[in-house]
Structure formats: structure tokens, C-alpha cells
Structure 1
């Protein structure tokens, strides 16, 4: 069989993972990234056991784990700082084979780019048009035109590929809350445990990164497009500066100009992730809220599943149909679950928030962990089931 070619639109985590999976199967790959360089402007990222299982397929699990920190314990606290639920990472590792690993997004992206030939990475290549005809799939971009046996749209929430081939699909929808993300400077005595603190229409979370730094995030229920009257750092101090320890100390350790803010969106369910020789992957297919920490994890699952479906058949269209059947029900179910959790965590009416906290406090930790099995227990297609 002659060497097959794939063009991946989008140089984020999912697109690079798909390129690695195909490259290692003998495909000629090119990754088109509209930004001037392959980098990640972000903060921390959580990689759950299912993501590490996908990285094992790519041969990168050990390297990525070495870049991150495994959270020992974590859980949810209330506005007064009392624990509502706790998760033992040792039990999570025993049950699912891997710990929860947290690392900086830029470090993960670097590990992925280094696993690909340098000449396959084309930055500054913004896609302007896409068509799929009898001669193959053709992508027009800033560097010219690319013809491929397969095109993967991994270009995020506002995907150009999705708009080109799914023009009638509904656009992203606002989740009802905005989010801040930040990384502290190294701390002399970082918190021993991570946590998400649930308030009323607000949340603040933190977890350890290597080198004594902490990754922090916060949310607030606000209309889309709300602009802070001051700097984002000052807005965080106003909202969360009096929250329970260690929140004030964490905010004090965040550089004033290092706070990222984004309104949160998800994507209404698509009827298919594949059309002809074109497939959608990651946020372009199933953008979800970050409440389960599964956005990048599901993109990594997508990548190895897509490559598996392409094994052993020259029929790209049939392979993409199989990919759609495997990935669409699962990812859309995870997205719904994440949205539900966000709705509960953002409750602002005091009686409802009180009932939420009571329910969380009364739920056994083992039951919480067991409920995550449908998400974290994923096994790569073709792999032996060991649990």
C-alpha cells in the first residue's frame, strides 16, 4: 500500500496526538497551525488515567508523567473550608492503573511536538478553505494547498473545518460562567492537598505542579462578555481574597499579569464526527466544560481511536465511520456529565447550595470514585482489558 497522507488542522493537544499516532503507523503527516509557533498559552492541565492510557499507546506516558506531579489527595471543600468529599489518589491508581497527573500545558505540548518530525509542523498556516472531492481532500492555507487522503479538524471550539463541512451545525453555547486560570510562583510550603472550594455561584480550585508551584482556577456565574472593571488579578482578589486558606496566599503568589480569563462554552451535539475523508477531533467535535478535567483527555482518546480505526483498511471513509460510532456516544455523554456537574457546582441559591453540600458530604468516597468508572475506565481499542 502506498504511503498515505494526512493533514491535521490545528496544532493543539488532540491534533498533535493524532499526528503522532498516524506517523508511527507510517502515514505522512502535516500539522497546520495558524499561530506563529507551536506553543500553549495556558496554565495547568489534569491528565486522568484514561488520558495516560492513551499516551501509553503513543509511547509517551512515562515521559509525560515525569513532567508533572501526581496529586496525593484532593477533593471538594465548602465555602467555610470544610471537606465535603476527598479522593485518595492511591486508591484511584489502584482502581484505574494510573494516578491523576497535573502539569503545565506548555510542557505537554512540547513533549508532543518533539515526538514528530520537525518538517511536519507548519506554523503560521491559517486554513482558508476545505473541499473533499473525487481526487481527495484539499486544504487551502497560508502556505499553499495540501491534498491528503485524510483531513482531521482539530482546530478547537470555533473550528474552521467544522464550519466548512458542517455549515448547518449549531455554534458554541455559553455555559453561564466565566473562568480564570493561573500558576503561582514557587511556594516555600505549598499546600499538601489540592481542592475545589464550592461557593454560591463561584468556585476556586488549586492543585500542585512540579517545582513548588500551584495551578489555580476560579469560576463565577456572569453574563457572557462581562468585563472586569479592574485587572483580572484585582478582580480575583475582590471575589476570593477572603476565602478560606490557602486561597489568599495562593493569590498573593500569582504574578499580577499572569491571570488568564475565558468565558466557558460547550458544543451542542453533532450528528456525526465524520464526513467523507474528513473527521473532527477534540474540541472541534465535542467541546465541553472543564468540570471533569476531561477536555484534553477525550482528545487524546480520539487520537488513538482514530488511528486504530484506520489500521488495516484502505477505505478512509469506512474507517471514519467506525471512529464516529466509537467516539461520538462516549464524548457526548462525558460532555453532558461535565455540564451537569458545572450546573450543580455553580448553584447560587442558598438553600440549593446547602442541599448540594450536604449531599456531597454524605456520599462515600468509594461511591464517588466508582461513579467515575465510565469515564476513567476507558481502554484503548485493541488493547487487552486487565480490569
Structure 2
């Protein structure tokens, strides 16, 4: 039999994970990336245990776990510095079966790209869907600057404002503005150590998290009109909004380069798609289920998508049935995560003094009753496990047994 060909449009986290997983299961893969290089947009990414277990399937889980930097206590604070809730890295790892890992997005992209031959990734290659194909008949067709390309499977990993989603589901309204904007920055670690934290204010949020390489990844969010930008620069905007918050927030802002602060409005799709596939074409990641970053699950869900997709479309199986099974697996789960992230973002956007006081009181009370109450926010999300694979490492590497595979008996006990 000829090796089936998959074309992935978009070279971000979801697209590259799908390419690696499909190649390991026997597909010939090509990634078409519009940008001229694979340098990712974005400073950092948080990978929870659910994504780490998905990465076990392609041999990257342990490498990612080794990059965990959070040790000891952390939690949520008020702008004045008062701790609203505390939790512990060991407690989180015990509850969900692994650490929370924050890393530079470029590090993850590099690790994923290393699992592909150089010829599999074409940068500077904008592509568009011409024909989604039919699962049991004609191939899908992609338009490229070099002419049309046929494929047995096309994967749309082209992000929040996905053009492929619009072709597959033209009647869907797509993502809408979530009501707030975000900033991200990487700086050297300050001289004074601090506990990792998220600080919640009135319609605003700040997070300071250490990376394994010694730098600090900081992120902020605030209610703002869509499309608004600072009249001077975004570091100055951060100083105006967060400069009087507790340390290390002002120090981190002061250490940032004025041009090194990334700002992006947040869009989400609380109205789910009717399916994640049509014909021979399928969507993963933000193209399928754009979500607010308030749970830190956007990249994690894209990784899950890619691994589950590869599980269901192994060469030699019925592609139509496999894509339908992928939609059946992923649509309910990602819809639930999108909506939960939206609920959390509504709490962050509270700005009235009474509503903020009530929110902070509830957080503080829940923490005193037990740190497990705070961690329960991620129950059903961070404790996810990949499906039992239909392949073991695939045709391009020596067969392996991923560490997460357990027997039916002890799998339930482990969870």
C-alpha cells in the first residue's frame, strides 16, 4: 500500500504535535507554515499533566517534565500582597499525576520540530483549502503558491482566526471578543526570590512564574475595549495599570524592554462547532475551539487533539469512522473546557468593589478549608489520560511502550 499523505496547515503547537504523532503512526506528513520561520509568537506556555501524558505518546513527556521550575508554595494574591489562597507544587503533582511546567514556547516548538525531518516543514508557504475531499472518495486539495496539493488527510491548525474553519463551517459565527486583553513578557529573575503567584485585582490579573532557565514569565490581563493599544508603549501601559501592585510586579515591569511586551486581545468560541471535521479535513487547537487563557489550557487541548486524532486515523483504518470518532471524543471535552475558562474569565473581569470583595472572600475561605478545594478547579481537565494507542511509536522509530499505558485494573486506581 502507498503511504497515506497528511498535510498540516499551521506550524504551531497543535500542528507540529499532529505531524509528529501521525508520522510515528505511519503517515507521510507535510507542514505548511505561512510565516517565514518557525519562531513562535508568544512568550511562554503552561503544560499541565494532561498535556504531558499526551506528549508521552510521542516520547516527549519526560523531557517536558524535567523543565518544571515551580517548587514549594504558590497561590493567589490581592494587589496589596495579601494571600487569597495557597497551594503547593507537590500537592498539585500528587493530585494530577505530574507537575505544572511553564516553558518558553520556542522550546516546545524546537522539541516538536526535532521529531520531523527538515523536508517535512515548509515555511513561507501560505496555504488555503480548495476542497475538503470526501472520506471514502476524492482526496482533499490545498492551494499553495506552487500549485494545488492533494492529500489523504488535511489538518487545519491555523489558529484562532482560522480560514479553514470558515471554509468548513461558513455559517458558524466564529470567535468573539472575550472582553479583555493580555500582555506577556520574559525578564531575568529578580534579585529577591518570590513564590509563584497570580494576583487578582479589579478587572485585572497578573501572574509571575519562574522558568527552568532562570528567567521569569509574567502575564497580565485587563478589561479593555477590543483593539485598544497604548498611546506610547505597552510597558508604559503595564506600569499605569499594575505599577502600584505588590512586588515583584513593579520590578518585573521595570526589567522588561519596551518593545518586548506582547499584547493580544482574547477571543473565544463559547458557541461550539457542529463538528471538528468535514470530508478528509479536520481542525485542531484554536481553529476548533478557541478559549480564554484563564485555565492555561489552550496549548494543552491542542496537544490532546493531535494525539487523539492520530489514535483514530491510524493507516489502514476507516478514515471517515476515525474522523467521526475524533469529533465524538474531542467536541464535548473541549466545549466544557472552553466554557469553564469563560466562567473563570468572568470572575477575573469583575470590577465593582462589592463583587470583587465577595470573590476574594470566597477564594480565601475556600483556601482555609483546604488547598484541595482550589485544585478542584482542574479536576476533569488536568487528570485526563490519552486513549490506549493503536500504534507503538510507529514506523519511523523503534517501538516503545509509552509510560502512561496501564492495565485496565490499575489505571482506574492511578487516576
1:226 corresponds to 2:232 = no
The 8 Å contact of residues 130 and 161 in structure 1, kept in 2 or not, is answered as no
- Counterpart secondary structure, 1:187: coil
**Cα offset for 1:132?**
2.8
Q: What SS class does the counterpart of residue 357 from structure 1 fall into?
A: helix
Relative to structure 2, which stretch is displaced further, 127-136 or 261-270?
Answer: 127-136
Aligned match for 2:327, one of 316, 324, 327: 324
**Number of the residue aligned with 2:245:** 243
1:369 aligns with 2:375: yes
1:137 counterpart = 2:140: yes
Give the distance between the partners of 1:184 and 1:195, measured in 2 at CA.
Answer: 16
Task: Report how many aligned residue pairs link the two structures.
Answer: 386
The answer as to whether partners of 2:244 and 2:250 remain within 8 angstroms in 1 is: yes
Structure 1 stretches lacking a partner, 5+ long: none
Distance in 2 separating the partners of 1:171 and 1:132: 19
2:334 and 2:376 map into 1 onto residues whose CA distance is 19
2:402 is aligned to none
Cα deviation 1:309-364 (Å, max 9, x = unaligned): 11365321110000000000000100100010010012101100000000000113
TM-aligned CA deviation for residue 37 of structure 1: 1.1
What's 1:97 paired with? 97
Tell me the TM-score normalized by structure 2. Answer: 0.90
1:50–1:375 Cα contact (<8 Å) kept: yes
Deviates further, 28-37 or 141-150 = 141-150
Change (3 A) 1:143 1:98: farther
Match of 1:166? 169
Give unpaired runs (5+ residues) of structure 2. Answer: 389-404
Cα distance between partner residues in 2 of 1:69 and 1:34: 33
Separation (CA, whole Å) in 1 of partners of 2:248 and 2:30? 45
TM-score (norm 1): 0.96
8 Å CA contact 2:68–2:100 kept in 1: the answer is no
Task: Trace 1:122-201 onto structure 2 (pairs within 5 A).
Answer: 122-133=122-133, 134-191=137-194, 193-201=195-203
Q: How big is the shift at 1:67?
A: 4.3
> What RMSD in Å do the two structures reach over aligned CA positions?
1.4
Shift of residue 211, structure 1, vs aligned partner? 3.0
Conserved in 2, the CA contact under 8 Å of 1:127 and 1:160? no
